[in-house]
Structure 1
Amino acid sequence: MTTAWILLVVAGLLEVAWALGLKASQGFTRLWPSLFTLVAMLASFYLLAQAMKVLPVGTAYAIWVGIGALGTVVLGMLIYGDSASPLRLISLVLVLAGLVGLKLAS
């Protein structure tokens, strides 16, 4: 079970990588960022699929999406200067609380 959670976290981190890669690829018009994005996508989906062999589908998918969303929003703020308004930050905390709740309920 612990291995499945580790795979799920890595899959979520790879989701962050490919989401940022999409921006860097400029709509798949730049070769190396596009290749990086595709490899990260494949690896992320593969690890998610492996984790789902053990974890409940709803929990695994929600955690994967949540890690991807949280990581992408935070790095978007840090790297691209996306808005860090109080409402966005409160929303991130709520998403994080939901992820913790799903983990505790599993």
Structure 2
Amino acid sequence: MQAVTSFFNLSLLLVVLAAALDVLANLLLAKSGGFRRRWLGFFSLALVGLAFYCLSLAVRNMDLAVAYAMWGSFGILGTSLGGWLFFSQKLRPCAFAGMGLLMTGMVLLHMS
């Protein structure tokens, strides 16, 4: 049980929350049409600010390199899947293989 609770800790949850906010910000930025819908664009910027705040809380108890790498990886993964699901962007099979490698890398990085 100790291994499970050490793997899923508050810092990891904050990194995941930061990444989720970042993904939402990216998707809203795409919906803003290059800030033609300004309220979506500004809301996107506010979400990025909240994402950085969550990341700053996470690095209190997690190495910066690990937190930043995981945040970036979750962000890439979420934004790619979000574009595929919500904007019908095409992803080749090698993109899905790369996402699997990202997830494997994040698990290994967090376990180190």
Same fold (TM over 0.5): yes
Deviation at residue 19 of structure 1 after TM alignment:
1.0
Deviation at 1:84, TM superposition (A): 2.3
Percent of aligned positions that are identical: 31
What is the match of residue 31 of structure 1? 38
In 2, the alpha carbon distance for the partners of 1:37 and 1:30 equals 11
* Matching residue of 1:81: 88
- 5+ residue gaps, structure 1, are none
Report Cα offsets for 1:23-67 as digits up to 9, x if no partner: 112222212211220121110000001111110011000000011
Instruction: Give the letter aligned to residue 59 of structure 2.
Output: M
**Structure 2: 5+ residue stretches without partners:** 1-5
Partner of 2:64: 57
| Aligned counterparts of 2:80 and 2:103: Cα–Cα separation in 1 | 12
Q: Moved runs in structure 1, 4+ residues, more than 6 A?
A: none
Give 1:93's match in structure 2, choosing from 90, 100, 106: 100
User: Once structures 1 and 2 are overlaid, which stretch shifts more, 20-29 or 91-100?
Assistant: 20-29
1:59-90 CA-to-partner distances (Å, cap 9, x unmatched) read 00000001110000011111111112111111
With structure 2 as the length reference, what TM-score do the two structures score? 0.87
How many pairs are equivalent? 105
Aligned equivalents of 1:3 and 1:89: distance in 2? 28
With the length of structure 1 as denominator, give the TM-score of the two structures: 0.92
Q: Does 2:103 match 1:103?
A: no
1:19 lines up with 2:40 in the alignment: no
